[in-house]
Amino acid sequence: HTVVVACHFHDLIEAMEANLHAIDSGPSASELMDRVLMDQTCGQLEYEPRRRFLQGDPEALLCVEYSADSESELRERCDDLESRLRGAGLGYAYVRGFEASQQSDMWDLRKAGLGLLMGMRGDAKPTSGIEDTCVPVEHLPEYVARVGELMREHGVEVTTFYGHASVGVLHIRPILNLKERKGVVTLRALQERISDWVLEWGGAMSAEHGDGLSRSEWIGKMFGSRLVEAFGRVKAAFDPVCIMNPGKIVDAPPMDENLRYGDGYPESQVTTFFRYDEAGGFQQAVEMCSGVGQCRKKLVGTMCPSYMATLEEAHSTRGRANALRAALSGDLPGDGLDSDELYEVMDLCLECKACKAECPSSVDMAKLKYEFLAQYHGKRGYPLRSYLFARIDVLNRWLAPLAPLVNAIMRSAPNRWLLEAVAGIDRRRRMPALARQRFSTWFRRRQVDTSRPARGTVVFYNDTFTEYNEPEIGRAAVALLEAAGYKVVIPERLLCCGRPMISKGFLDGARRRAAENITGLMRYIERGWPVVGVEPSC
């Protein structure tokens, strides 16, 4: 049996004092999350229901978990904790989660908040460097107080605190703009002072995440010259030419030498087709990737299908975001987005938008790929394959009168070999068959029961595939609408929705097509007739 008690506090220091009482009660975990982290989920449709256990407006939460052989024992543990905290005047609410769903809400709130925090819009981001410190738990209240005062001294307006309070590990992330010199200088100053305190209390700068480039500079300070010399001898014995993860722990460069952004980071001047106002611009949309790596999943979820197939970093959402960032900053050969290396990285993206749904930072790689294709082919021209797919509506309209003959040709081995050679369409793939009768032809010829008064009129938007390839889906939709009592009409002039153009980077053409469709459908919308369809796109 397990229970999680969400203890609510008015400030962080109070939460850290309560943590000492919680530890004395023998929990299996005591986890901290602060207001900054929790606020990320506020107003988010997906996560708002998970906030239902929150009482009031806490500055900090301490989620204390207990395990026992019976629920009655768990209740005794909860009573003991609440008695300890109330007696010490710590906290104002103590929500008990006995059900798995309640516990899931508590833990998922932190997980979701962290993901949203790491995808923060704009140039100021939660920074690493002091995000893995550990000090003895009895010093946590003073440590948090010192860090808070230090942030105020350096003008850092927002800092988030979360972590494993039961073992003294706090993940502290100040929100800094490392594209500016001031942000870099501030980060160094914070590391210098905080490393002093960690050393003073016999703690560690790297409790879980490793030293890496961001903390290896402080190895000598933390371990002393004799141990650092020993580290060097071990490194030299196993890696004499220093090719295995160089610059970490041994012979480390300054922490501000290899920043992802850093002072002087070039700003992109790309004139885009899409708008990226929500992210703060195209470059900021690319930089939303925080490197968490949830796109490297193999067995669960949808993101990222190309990575699941190849297991190559370049074919993950993170790999593509890093490649785009490198191209924009001039680190890839070519002129910005006009890069062959970048094209290879972007090519296998299926544009499925699973990343937008599953990535903690909501990176929309499909949209970024559309933009890239428009920029890349805008300079180099579009291949035949792109034209064929982008204008599939025109191609189908030309071929529909000869559907039986066209289908036979498409199935033939010589034609499939030709399509592979000319358009890059794998010969093992079969092209969608054309229907013998177009949907609109069937619609005009069908018998309509006019004996009953209609509940209203509905405009059925017959997309390209419904029109030419799978009219039976459209016929079923019309039958359903008419059975529900509606009169069904279709647009007088059939136009593709333009989605295939977007997929292949014909964004100017897609914009014109969207405008034409809006004009054509407005006459129905102004009458109050709803427009419905059976596909999200062609």
pLDDT for 93-117, tens place per residue? 999 999 999 999 998 888 778 777 8
pLDDT value of residue 87: 95
Cα atoms in the 13 Å half-sphere on the side-chain side of 507: 18
Closest CA to 432 of 469, 401, 398, 384: 469
Task: Write the CATH number of the domain with boundaries 1-119.
Answer: 3.30.70.2190
Residues 6+ apart with CB under 8 A from 37: 110, 113, 114, 117, 160, 162
Q: Rounded to the nearest 5°, which phi and psi values hold at 131?
A: -90, 10
d(Cα 481, Cα 422) in Å, to the nearest integer?
43
pLDDT value of residue 264: 77
Residue with tokens 């009219």: 471
Cα atoms in the 13 Å half-sphere on the side-chain side of 114: 16
Positions in the chain whose pLDDT score sits under 70: 538
The encoded tokens of residue 530 equal: 């709803």
pLDDT value of residue 288: 87
Closest CA to 469 of 381, 406, 375: 406
Is-above-0.85 flag for pTM?
no
d(Cα 19, Cα 25) in Å, to the nearest integer?
10
pLDDT value of residue 406: 92
pLDDT value of residue 538: 66
The amino acid that residue 212 corresponds to is G
| Long-range contacts of the stretch 310-314 (C-beta < 8 A, 24+) | 310/348, 314/344, 314/345
Which helix (H) or strand (E) element contains residue 29?
strand 29-34
Q: Rounded to the nearest 5°, which phi and psi values hold at 154?
A: -95, 10
pLDDT value of residue 99: 92
Q: How many helices (H) and strands (E) does the chain have?
A: 24, 11
d(Cα 474, Cα 463) in Å, to the nearest integer?
9
Q: What is the pLDDT of residues 210-227, one digit of tens each?
A: 898 889 999 999 999 999
d(Cα 238, Cα 245) in Å, to the nearest integer?
12
C-alpha 365, offset from chain centre: 9
d(Cα 426, Cα 129) in Å, to the nearest integer?
48
What is the three-class DSSP state of 445? helix
Query: Contact at 8 Å (CB) between 127 and 174?
Result: yes
The residues spanned by each domain of the chain are 1-119, 127-147+159-265, 282-381, 385-423, 439-532
The amino acid that residue 344 corresponds to is E
**What sign does the dihedral 349-351-355-361 (CA atoms) show?**
positive
Q: Tell me if the bond preceding 304 is cis, omega within 30° of 0.
A: yes
d(Cα 77, Cα 75) in Å, to the nearest integer?
5
pLDDT value of residue 45: 72
